[in-house]
Amino acid sequence: DTGVSQDPRHKITKRGQNVTFRCDPISEHNRLYWYRQTLGQGPEFLTYFQNEAQLEKSRLLSDRFSAERPKGSFSTLEIQRTEQGDSAMYLCASSARDSFNYGYTFGSGTRLTVV
């Protein structure tokens, strides 16, 4: 499978716990994006990487959120001290820099429920 892979698919956690999600992009894609989507809304941009460099972070990404892409391949998104408002689908997408006109390919997402 050469698509974008996200793990886990589902995560239920207690408020205050830390969670970490992983994304493996399409191998030849050097851009990787994280989005968050809540019910009835479109995906909201969180952050993106070009190779290992984090080029932009949304103001939605509070201090409790951190993302890394250490070797320019897979990426992790960590949420510390989770809150109920963090419950959402977290989507990862990738693209090749020169293929911006072709849009992104999304992974299946990680659905987070904070109880």
Assess 56 for contact with other proteins (CB under 8 A).
Answer: yes
Provide the b/e sequence for 66-98 (b: ≥16 CB within 10 Å).
bbebeeeebbebebeebeeebbbbbbbbbbeee
Distance, CA of 25 to CA of 5 (rounded, Å) = 6
Span near other proteins by CB under 8 A; candidates 16-24, 35-43, 59-67, 76-84? 35-43
Assess 91 for contact with other proteins (CB under 8 A).
Answer: yes
Of 19, 104, 112, 114, which lies in the binding site for other proteins, with binding defined by CB under 8 A? 104
Assess 109 for contact with other proteins (CB under 8 A).
Answer: yes
Assess 25 for contact with other proteins (CB under 8 A).
Answer: no
92, amino acid identity: C
Maximum alpha-carbon separation in the chain: 41
Distance, CA of 58 to CA of 2 (rounded, Å) = 28
Assess 42 for contact with other proteins (CB under 8 A).
Answer: yes
Least Å distance between CB 16 and other proteins?
Answer: 27
**Which parts of this chain interact with other proteins (CB under 8 A)?**
33, 35, 40-45, 48, 55-56, 91, 100-109
